[in-house]
Amino acid sequence: MTTTTSDQQHELHVRKRRNLTWVVALGFFGLVFDGYDLVVYGTVLPGFLSDPSRIGPLTPAQGGVLGSYALVGVLVGALLTGTVSDVLGRRRLMLLAYAWFAAAMGFTALAGSATTLGIGRFAAGLGIGALLATTGALVAEYAPPGRKNLFNALTYSGIAFGSTLSALLAILLLDSIGWRGMFLLGALPLVTLFPLAVVKLPESAAWLQARGRHEEAEALAARTGIVLTDDQAASAAGQEETTGTGRSGFAGLFSGGNAAPALLLGFTSVCCLLLVYALNTWLPELMGRAGFSTKGSLSFLLVLNGSAVVGQLIGSRLADRFGPKPVVATAFLLGAVAIGLLTVQAPLGVLLLFVAVAGVGTSGTQTLIYGFVANHFRTTVRGAAVAWCAGFGRLGGIGGPLLGGLLIGAGLALNSTFFVLAALALVGSVLTLLVPRTVRGGR
């Protein structure tokens, strides 16, 4: 009997590990293309500004507006997904997001004008928004207790990895494949990731339980090795209704004790994404104006995003140990200091070090924020919470390219531009510290 029980436990552990691996891997590679899209426009923007024959004449301000179209799409896609992900499920929305995003990137590669390019960028943003809003919820519902921030960071490190890959491919391939080829690479998920996810991506047993579909949840839990928690069972049985916090989706997110942390985390995400998109869109141009060559400027982009991968993995382990709030606040503070130090006269190696720390305090911090949100709220509002963070936060993503374009177009000194961005990082740190402790039933 002991041997049988031991064998059963081992088999349960193997199934759980296998399915968690698939969830994290598919989420990671999906977000690689989100990160790729984040940076690819910044890599081709200097060419658009200097060569009107590509998509027509562009001023820096117009280039910033065009860069924001994708972010508007992310906002719309994430918020629309937030209204249905806690009702329709995680899996089908992730599959739709993979296919939609890839098709939109292919369309963008064929654009013949700034208007067509903008439409393609907006459409791609819709898919990215849906993916961002759903991935964090699914990972949180498969990750083991005490390691949720780590697995969230492993998954969302795909964004920084994709951003780094985009900058690297631009350095190596942009001259040979052109801007159309750079966008066409973003269509690869349609023939790679999507068919694999159809076969391997599981639904969330916790979501099924929270929707009252107990038999399906138990069957899926048995197949995947997931152990359903008492919190999920209570949510499904409606026991939280008596506390006034049993509503699902956005209705539950903005009621009771959920509202204050949801608003604060939303504005924290706005701050962080404003920094992320301002730097990723305009850093090559800013460093070019500081006297660096085109490939040298792209190297700053490579370091900015490469450092975020390492920083968020270290930060996630600290978040699992000490809680995400102090870690996120500290990361913002480090980012503020590093961005401010970009104004000093220093050797190239020192400047690259400052950029690396800035990457930890911007792109790396956004990943920690997603983990903060995904594990702060209960199952029935988790999808809406991540969607809110990804969607509402995209107001900052929209504002980032616009802010950079306005500051540069207005002739603001290079140092002043960096000081403005450093001040925004300080605001993000303060907002993080104001977030109340985890609400009842949040884990």
Give per-residue pLDDT as tens, 409-420: 777 777 888 898
Side-chain half-sphere CA neighbours of 246 within 13 A: 17
Counted residue by residue, the chain has a size of: 443
pLDDT at 265: 93
pLDDT digits (tens, 9 = 90+) for 312-329: 888 888 988 888 899 999
CB atoms within 10 A of CB 126: 24
- Say if pTM beats, i.e. exceeds, 0.85: no
* Cα of 363 vs its chain's centroid, Å: 8
Burial-class residue 9 by CB neighbours within 10 Å (0-12, 13-18, 19+). Answer: exposed
Q: Is residue 207 part of a domain?
A: yes
Q: Give me the pLDDT at residue 216, please.
A: 78
| pLDDT of residue 2 exceeding 70 | no
With CA atoms as reference, report the closest residue to 203 among 216, 193, 190, 194: 216
What per-residue confidence (pLDDT) applies to 271? 93
The Cα angle at residue 352 between residues 351 and 356, in degrees rounded to 5: 120
Task: Return the pLDDT at 1.
Answer: 45
280 inside domain: yes
- 4 lies in a domain? no
pLDDT at 295 over 60: yes
Query: Is residue 321 assigned to a domain?
Result: yes
- For 216-266, how does the pLDDT look when each residue is reduced to its tens digit (9 = 90+)? 778 877 777 676 664 444 443 333 333 334 576 777 888 778 888 989 999
**Is residue 66 domain-resident?**
yes
Tally of structural domains, the chain: 1
Question: Could you list the residue range(s) of the whole structural domain that residue 180 is in?
Answer: 9-433
Task: Answer whether 110's CB lies under 8 Å from 126's CB.
Answer: no
CA distance 218 to 355: 48
In the chain, the N- to C-terminal Cα span, in Å, equals 34
Contact 106, 37 (CB under 8 A): no
Average pLDDT over residues 269-284: 86
Torsion of CA 264, 319, 354, 334, to 10 degrees: 50
- Cα-based distances in Å from 360 to 281, 297, 310, 403: 17, 19, 8, 21
On whether residue 416 sits in a domain, the answer given is yes
CATH number at residue 274: 1.20.1250.20
Q: Which residues, in sequence order, are CB contacts of 10 under 8 Å at separation 6+?
A: none
